[in-house]
Amino acid sequence: MAKTKITVNNNGSIRLEGDFEIVDKNGTTYDLGGREIVSICRCGLSKNKPFCDGSHNGHFEHEAIAFALPPKK
């Protein structure tokens, strides 16, 4: 199985690439139409949630810089 890559974009979406599935709260899988790359909305403005439609442009700011989480308790 190919490794899944998740990229947190500056001022925008979360990009998923590789072999993955996305399910709703009931466990039903979204039909991704054969896509191996999708972007997930983080701003809450998309009319196509959970997928990004670009509505964040000019309305959402976040500089995505990686950091270490504290140890798990």
Sign of the Cα torsion 9, 63, 44, 23 reads positive
- CA distance from start to end of the chain: 31
Q: Are 41 and 13 in contact (CB under 8 A)?
A: yes
Query: Rounded to whole angstroms, how far apart are CA atoms 13 and 51?
Result: 9
Domain residue ranges in the chain: 1-66
Mean pLDDT on 26-31 = 98
The position carrying tokens 């979406």 is 13
pLDDT at residue number 66: 96
> Tens of pLDDT along 1-22?
568 999 999 999 999 999 999 9
pLDDT tens per residue across span 52-68: 999 999 999 999 999 99
Over range 14-38, report the average pLDDT.
97
Say whether pLDDT at 50 is over 90.
yes
